[in-house]
Amino acid sequence: MSVAMLEYLKDKNRAWAARKVAADAGFFKRLEAQQAPEYLWIGCSDSRVPANEIVDLDPGELFVHRNVANLAPPQDANYLSVLQFAIDVLRVKHVMVVGHYGCGGVRAAVDGQRRGLVDHWLHPIREVHHDHRHELEKIGDEIQRLNRLCELNVIRQVKNVASDVFVQEAWARGQEVNVHGWVYSISTGHINDLNVTTSRPDEIERLG
């Protein structure tokens, strides 16, 4: 059964490629020639949040890094490698940290259940929860409380990105880098801009 499913996916790939060529004969040739995105998307691994589709960009127009709960931890070499490559090599102008409402990772961080290794990964969200516990405790509805935690987590990750040495060095040499915080709504398909865009070092403090 699993082999049949893989064949199904490969058939889907061929059909997709054929549709792309039928609509635009030079589509794949352009992709092959150059990758020059202006955007880095740091998002959640959730399969319901496909980065390129949400902002209607073709492959090659968006550099993407995804992990559970869209974290940007300064200890994670994978994330840091992506960030450095995006800033220093691709010279992206915009870094978007994109969470989503109803995030299972955010819920798992604070529901008290033990899940093993992922609990360590989600620890930064518990720190955000603790730092904003007074605000969150005032929200009676659990879904709204978790959605607010999703927003607060994005804001914290924006601060992490903006505080990183690669972004700081880019600003010091006059390179344009803007770090944005968005939350995507799966129920509407719309992006909520949290208006925490940070474009220079002196704007970091307002992120809390």
Which residues are catalytically annotated?
Answer: 44, 46, 48, 100, 103
The Cα 187–Cα 195 span in angstroms is 21
- Which residue matches tokens 């794949």? 28
* Nearest residue to 143 (alpha-carbon basis) of 108, 107, 113: 107
The Cα 165–Cα 142 span in angstroms is 37
Q: Judge whether 60 and 36 are in contact, CB under 8 Å.
A: yes
- Which residue matches tokens 């699993």? 2
